Structure formats: structure tokens, C-alpha cells
Amino acid sequence: MSLLPSLLSPSDITLRNNIQIFGKGEETILLAHGFGCNQNMWRFITPYLEEHYTIVLFDYVGSGTSDVSTYQAERYRSLEGYALDIIEICDALELSQVLYVGHSVSATIGHIVAIQRPDLFKALVMVCPSPCFLNIDQHYSGGFEQSDLEELLNLMDKNYIGWGTYLAPLVMGVTDTMEEPEQEVSDTLVQELLTSFCSTDPTYSKPFAKATFLSDYRHLLMDIKQPCLIIQSEHDALVPVEVGYFMQSQIPDAKLDIINGKGHCLHMTYPLKILNSIQNFMAHTS
């Protein structure tokens, strides 16, 4: 899909995507949040990263505290529109050869950017990624039947709060067998995610949800040339571990790290494990 770039100045793009820059390192790390989230959800790992990297945070248009007046319905009907956000952010900040870290759908958005503009990324880290959430055939199971996902999307129209209330605990990996301290932390994070979901206007979140859950970008994987780290959760209700193995088999230069943990937001629930995984990966990436 070919999309026209925005005719915005670098300062306008900074405001559009609520770009925040901090840190001390010579290398730059770009952190891209997942669907229904915002840049604040990286806060559990940024205190450790800022000693070694210059960190760039942002919100996709329609998410967080981005400038929703710049929202273009046609552009953001597909993940290519969000990829264009990232390309424009990098160009506005004159970035190249950055370490890109994408959570969930932002991993796929990063794949699009890596292929369209290979100069921008030195390496990619994917936290709980999935190139396709759908069960396709006996060779690929993304975790969901299309009818189930369509029903979930329709719930956004019928009962937006109910949709968020159902999805947030699922994403965070809440179970009935948690010990009390873990349960308290999980409940706090579930409430944060629910607040993030429900504070986003469905005008923006539903097209993003459709682009996230009903798309199939498996065909891109073999064309990614940069070194990649795939970080999968051992117990993720949204993405089966088998998806991680599939991605590793398709990406030419990929390492898979399966984290012993629960949920789809490992950077929030197991930040030190994610940090160690990234550090080990970068130590062996030239």
C-alpha cells in the first residue's frame, strides 16, 4: 500500500506524536507501544536503558496524548499508516540505524518500516509479536478464529467498557492461581490498561484494532534483513508460543527468547527479564 507522507514540519510531527527524547547514550533506541497502549507503558525499563541509550518515545496518532486533529481515517485503516508515522518520526529527528523495540502489533509495524526504509533500523526487538492473530490452516495457528475476533470487535460498538473489561485481564495474563502479591500488581496493571483502552476514542481505536487483529503480514518476515530478537511469553492468551517459533524460522537472522511468565505485556510485568534479553541480544549484535 502506497501512502503519501504528511506535509508537516519536524516540530509539527513532534507535537503530533507527542515525541519525548531523553537518555545519555550515543546509540538511539526507539520504543513503539502496542494497540490500546501508550508510551508511558515503557516506564518500567526506561530507567535502565537511559544510561546506555538516547531514548525516543512517542504515541501513535489516536493513542495516548497524540494530536488527534491530525488523524486521517484512510491512512490509519492499515498498519502501513502507522509505519509511516515511524518513518516520519525518524526523518524529523534525523535518525538512522536505531535499535527499534516494538510491542505486539508494533513489531509488525516495525517489519514494514524495516523493509521500506532499511536505513532506519540497526536491529529489531519484538516483545510478544504476531504477524497474524488468525488461525489460517494446519501449518499456522495464530490463536483466534476470525469469527471470534470479529465478535470481539463488534463488542467495541455494543459495549466499549465491557470490551475493555474483558480484554485487559486477558492481555495482562491474570489467572485464578496467582499469589496475593502478584495478584495485587496484576490488578493495578489491568486497571491501567483498562483506563488506556477506555480513554481512547473508538473512532481511532476500532480501525487500529481491525488492522491489528484481522491482518496477515507473514509474507514480510523473509524480507527482513536486520538482526531480530523475538521475545515471547510462555503463557500468552493472545499469542501462542508456536508463533514465536514460526517467526524465527521465517526471519533470516532471528533469535527467539521465550520468557517464563504470563501475559502479553512482558515489558510491564517482567521488565528486568526483558531488559536482560535486550542487553544480551545487543551484546552479540554487531
The ranges assigned to domains in the chain are: 10-283
Task: State yes or no: is 236 an active-site residue.
Answer: yes
Q: What share of the chain is helix, strand, coil (3-state, %, to 5)?
A: 50, 20, 35
C-alpha cell at 211: 488492522
Is 252 in a helix, a strand, or coil? coil
C-alpha cell at 172: 495482562
Residues above pLDDT 90, as percent of the chain: 75
Please spell the DSSP secondary structure of 83-149, one letter per residue.
HHHHHHHHHHTT--SEEEEEETHHHHHHHHHHHH-TTSEEEEEEES--S--BEEETTEE-SB-HHHH
pLDDT above 50: residue 245: yes
Among residues 104, 196, 233, 277, which one is catalytic?
104
Q: What is the mean pLDDT of residues 202-207?
A: 91
Would you state the pLDDT for residue 175? 58
CA distances to 45, 61, 235, 268 from 182, rounded to whole Å, are 19, 33, 15, 13
Query: What is the tens place of the pLDDT at every residue in 24-33?
Result: 889 999 999 9
Task: State yes or no: is 264 an active-site residue.
Answer: yes
The C-alpha atoms of residue 167 and residue 187 are separated, in whole angstroms, by 13
Among residues 111, 236, 267, 277, which one is catalytic?
236
Least confident of 59-63, 98-102, 194-198, 264-268: 194-198
Q: What is the mean pLDDT of residues 109-137?
A: 97
Would you state the pLDDT for residue 180? 47
pLDDT above 60: residue 158: yes
Query: What is the tens place of the pLDDT at every residue in 28-86?
Result: 999 999 998 899 999 999 999 999 999 999 999 999 999 999 999 999 999 999 999 99
* Span 10-283 CATH architecture: 3-Layer(aba) Sandwich (3.40)
Would you state the pLDDT for residue 80? 97
Q: What are phi and psi of 174, to 5 degrees?
A: -70, 130
Among residues 103, 111, 264, 267, which one is catalytic?
264
The C-alpha atoms of residue 58 and residue 102 are separated, in whole angstroms, by 12
Query: What is the tens place of the pLDDT at every residue in 208-218?
Result: 999 999 999 99
Q: Are 18 and 39 in contact (CB under 8 A)?
A: yes
The C-alpha atoms of residue 114 and residue 124 are separated, in whole angstroms, by 9
Would you state the pLDDT for residue 1? 55
Task: State yes or no: is 103 an active-site residue.
Answer: no
Categorize the per-residue pLDDT at 181 as very low, low, confident or very high, splitting at 50, 70 and 90. Answer: very low
Is 276 in a helix, a strand, or coil? helix
Count of C-beta atoms within a 10 Å radius of residue 157: 10
Amino acid, res. 40: N
* Angular region, 104: left φ>0, alpha ψ -120 to 50, beta rest: left
Q: What is the mean pLDDT of residues 12-19?
A: 97
